[in-house]
Structure 1
Amino acid sequence: MFPLGNRTLDTQALRWHVETGLAPLLAATPARLSLSLRSLDGSVVLERDAARVQPSASIIKLPILLALLEQVACGHCRLDQQLALDAGGARVGGTGILHQLLSVASLSLAELARLMIVLSDNVATNALIGLLGCAEVTQWCRRAGLAGSCLQRRMMDAAAREAGLDNFTSAGDAASALGWMLREGSLPAELRAFALSLLADQRERAHFGAALPAQTHLANKTGQLPGLRHDAGILTVGDYSAVLVVLADGFTDLRTADSLDGGDGAELLARIARVVAEGLQAQAQAQE
């Protein structure tokens, strides 16, 4: 089970540590960066342009997961319920593996959710969008207080994107989504634990997960597009945890601009997460 810290953060000390570590990183990058750093109870430690709405990339898969689990909690569907993959449309490519496994005709909702988060599988995601509907996911965002987030298209739908339909979020909204998941009463304990287990099993570790101190635990969801790097997650060191979201675009290096991994964008997010983890580590060491 993913460990959540049970000690209250010294928010002033953590804010000072992160601001000090961020200053040279931000001075050295042309990117536009939105950041939200919060305690587990949702209290803001540090924010920078956190309300700026921008294309979500695969970060939108976090609200899809939570909207699904709310439906499960309300009894409208079950995690062991089978869903035909045709419900999500064509076997689109991009991230994931199901577009290569043509003999797989259906999976349970739990399996689809796992593939959507752990491997960022677009076929699994589209199947769940087909089940829930874009409007329901957007309505969940409103119920959860995510004012700038919306789901308007399926994954890899270039025609919809060209028509002006895209998926959007902000750093503050992504942090609020994680806060909703963690808040007692939003979901039954077993569904909250299920969601955390998926995020903790995230296989994309080139961003927040790339340079963390060895004793750091991470549960997160990344999102990448050419020129854009996002990550949203929970960091735990010892008995201290924090929610960190960074959405960044405007990178000018060719690797970040032309690909979905690596480059200055991935490095920047890795260094920011390390700064936050070291701030948590300092508090854990002070406790010893």
Structure 2
Amino acid sequence: MKLRRAAFALAALVLFPLAPAAAREPAPSIEAGLAERLSAIGTVPVGRVGIATIDLTTGRETRFRAAETFPMASTVKVAVAVMYLAEVDAERRSLDKIIALNEALRSGSDGIGQDMPHPGVSLSAANLIHLMLTLSDNTATDVLINDLGGVAKVDAWLRANAVDGVRIDRDIARLVLDNLGLPMLPGKTAAQTLWASDPLPATARAVAVEAFDRDPRDTASPAGMAQFLARIDRGDFLKPSSQKFLIETMVKCKTGPDRIKGLLPDGTIVAHKTGTLAGLSDDVGIVTLPNGRKFVIAVFTLGIADGPVRARIIAEAARTAFDYYATR
């Protein structure tokens, strides 16, 4: 069958165990009690888990395999949003700007690809950011990346703003294409190739996923992503109005309700962004405690075939951090 809508619905695979990344973990965290609990959650028989938390009141961090790199998947969309909003703050762009969809960028994910199937789509930058962060809309993301001048410009913005441990190398359609192990078709964009290609057989697909997981491109360390979120909260990148727009939009995220939010008390405010590809699930965000204090958590999982298992690891890490910080 053609990939079409199924191009982004990735089946569970039997994945190969992954060797640890060659990165030196920093000295033990000040929050030793939390680190021990997160280590127990993140130690898995197959694959890897990386966890980083930051208490936004004290700045103290907790890390488990947090210096290692993991595929970011759709968590990269936070960086795209922040750069776009920084451009708005610099008056080089506007949230009211109407951007017409180039059909060559249309992917089959939720949002534009599924709900706006006909040509002639034009949306404001604000609506594109909303779709990107709340539904993880891949088409909206690539439209925004294209408007910003391409992935090299986004990565250059990260470097210019000293965002360490986070890198972007491909647009989302090409990222998914590579995760699926599919070659580009002559004369077509990555998005068009996704629509036109047949999936690989299961064995070849597993090999492609293993190669993708070892690719250094489009990766982040949990520590780097956590620091990025902490700096967003501090206001390092954005004016207050843009920061407010970003956080309020991330609070409305509809994907991954069983991840960071999965075991937290009902009504807990979580501004987060998920990422999902074959054998991996991520979730990164800012959690507000009942007393108003906040903490950052970034959890990346890799090489674990069962999606619910990955989600449970993330949920348990978030609840453990929540309970720990709530008593501080």
Give the TM bin, normalised by the shorter chain.
0.7 to 0.9
Counterpart in the other structure of 1:178: 229
Q: Distance in 2 between matches of 1:108 and 1:120?
A: 17
Shift of 1:143: 2.4
Q: Distance in 2 between matches of 1:166 and 1:72?
A: 28
Counterpart in the other structure of 2:166: 149
Counterpart in the other structure of 2:108: 93
Query: Which has the higher mean CA deviation after the structures are superposed, 154-163 or 171-180?
Result: 154-163
Q: Distance in 2 between matches of 1:82 and 1:42?
A: 41
Shift of 1:136: 1.3
Q: Is the 8 A contact 1:56 1:169 kept in 2?
A: yes
Aligned-residue CA RMSD (Å):
2.3
Shift of 1:222: 0.6
Counterpart in the other structure of 1:260: none
Q: Distance in 2 between matches of 1:199 and 1:29?
A: 32
Q: Distance in 2 between matches of 1:276 and 1:141?
A: 28
Counterpart in the other structure of 2:244: 193
Counterpart in the other structure of 1:3: none
Letter in 2 for 1:233: G
Question: Any stretches of 5+ residues in structure 2 without a counterpart?
Answer: 1-28, 184-214
1:96-138 CA-to-partner distances (Å, cap 9, x unmatched) read 2211212451100000000000000011001001111111110
**1:208 aligned counterpart, secondary structure:** coil
Q: Distance in 1 between matches of 2:259 and 2:59?
A: 24
1:223-250 CA-to-partner distances (Å, cap 9, x unmatched) read 1111111111011112221011111212
Aligned residues between the structures: 261
Letter in 2 for 1:98: I
| Mapping of residues 74-85 of structure 1, within 5 Å | 74-85=90-101
1:37-83 CA-to-partner distances (Å, cap 9, x unmatched) read 11226834211222222221001101101111111111110000000
Q: Is the 8 A contact 2:142 2:173 kept in 1?
A: no
Could you state the TM-score of these two structures normalised by the residue count of structure 1? 0.82
Structure 2 CA distance for partners of 1:230 and 1:118, relative to 1, 3 Å: same
Larger Rg: 2
Letter in 2 for 1:97: G
Letter in 2 for 1:45: E
Counterpart in the other structure of 2:323: 278
Counterpart in the other structure of 1:25: 41
**2:327 aligned counterpart, secondary structure:** helix
Q: Is the 8 A contact 2:151 2:168 kept in 1?
A: yes
Q: Distance in 2 between matches of 1:206 and 1:244?
A: 15
Counterpart in the other structure of 2:152: 135
Q: Is the 8 A contact 1:42 1:179 kept in 2?
A: no
Q: Distance in 1 between matches of 2:112 and 2:141?
A: 10
- 2:127 is the alignment partner of 1:111: yes
Which of 262, 267, 270 pairs up with 2:312? 267
Shift of 1:166: 4.3
Query: Which has the higher mean CA deviation after the structures are superposed, 52-61 or 176-185?
Result: 176-185
Q: Distance in 1 between matches of 2:167 and 2:104?
A: 20
Letter in 2 for 1:196: I
Could you state the TM-score of these two structures normalised by the residue count of structure 2? 0.73
Structure 2 CA distance for partners of 1:250 and 1:176, relative to 1, 3 Å: same
Counterpart in the other structure of 1:6: none
Q: Distance in 2 between matches of 1:19 and 1:149?
A: 23
Q: Distance in 2 between matches of 1:79 and 1:25?
A: 41
Which of 236, 247, 251 pairs up with 2:288? 236
Structure 2 CA distance for partners of 1:193 and 1:29, relative to 1, 3 Å: farther
Letter in 1 for 2:324: G
Question: Any stretches of 5+ residues in structure 1 without a counterpart?
Answer: 1-10, 257-262, 284-288
Letter in 2 for 1:181: I
Q: Is the 8 A contact 2:168 2:217 kept in 1?
A: yes
- 2:89 is the alignment partner of 1:36: no
Letter in 2 for 1:26: G
Q: Distance in 2 between matches of 1:122 and 1:34?
A: 25
Shift of 1:29: 4.8
**1:210 aligned counterpart, secondary structure:** coil
